[in-house]
């Protein structure tokens, strides 16, 4: 993974996950679940920010675990996040982000299509799992647009997870 994408993934993990962090070690058992509305491979449009009207999210995993809400893992495409480390000054893809089902419901606007081939998300997902198990990150309970705005506000700031 290129440096700007790695930094961005770490920042998204570090700065935007709220509230629902794991307290158990070793890795908490998460199981894939099915919901009535969301499934792996669905591509949705969402309420974005100005300049992100064509942005989409792809659902890459849907999970839950003991005492946890349903977690919808997504990859975001065609976003526009100011990033001084990215070529051209903007990051256009977020490989992985974890949201509550309710946060996704408040974000999505239209099911665009179903895909069989998922975007690459595994590295970001594994990193999220590691940090989640350590209690360093949680699950976004805010909308996708709110998370992107928070990432953009915080991207230029130093963060301990970015020093790894």
| Distance between CA atoms of residues 85 and 89, nearest Å | 7
- The answer to whether the predicted template modeling score (pTM) of the entire model surpasses 0.95 is no
pLDDT of residue 27: 58
Strands 71-82 and 108-114: unpaired
Mean pLDDT of 11-32: 54
Does the structure show a pLDDT above 90 at 6? no
Mean pLDDT of 21-49: 81
Does the structure show a pLDDT above 90 at 23? no
Q: Give the per-residue SS3 of the chain.
A: CCHHHHHHHHHHHHHHCCECCCCCCCCCCCEECCCCCCCCCEEEEECCCCCCCCCEEEEEEEEECCCCCCEEEEEEEEEEEECCCCHHHEEEEEEEEEEEHHHHHHHEEEEEEECCCCCCCHHHHHHHHHHHHCCCCCEECCCHHHHHHHHHHHCCCCCHHHHC
54: pLDDT confidence band, cut at 50, 70 and 90?
very high
Share of the chain above pLDDT 90, in %: 58
Torsion of CA 112, 61, 135, 4, to 10 degrees: -60
Instruction: Answer whether 48's CB lies under 8 Å from 79's CB.
Output: yes
pLDDT tens-digit readout, 92-101: 999 999 999 9
């Amino acid at each position: 993974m290129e440096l700007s994408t790695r930094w961005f993934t770490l920042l998204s993990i570090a700065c935007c996950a709220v509230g629902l962090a794991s307290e158990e070690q070793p890795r908490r058992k998460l199981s894939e679940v099915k919901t009535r509305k969301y499934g792996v491979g669905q591509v949705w449009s969402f309420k974005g920010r100005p300049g992100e009207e064509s942005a989409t999210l792809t659902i890459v995993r849907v999970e839950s675990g003991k005492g946890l809400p349903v977690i919808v893992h997504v990859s975001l495409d065609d976003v526009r996040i100011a990033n001084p480390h990215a070529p051209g000054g903007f990051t256009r893809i977020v490989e992985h982000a974890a949201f509550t089902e309710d946060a996704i419901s408040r974000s999505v606007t239209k099911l665009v299509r179903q895909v069989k081939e998922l975007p690459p998300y595994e590295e970001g997902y594994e990193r999220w799992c590691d940090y989640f198990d350590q209690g360093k990150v949680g699950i976004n309970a805010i909308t996708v647009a709110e998370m992107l705005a928070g990432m953009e506000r915080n991207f230029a700031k130093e963060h301990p997870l970015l020093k790894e």
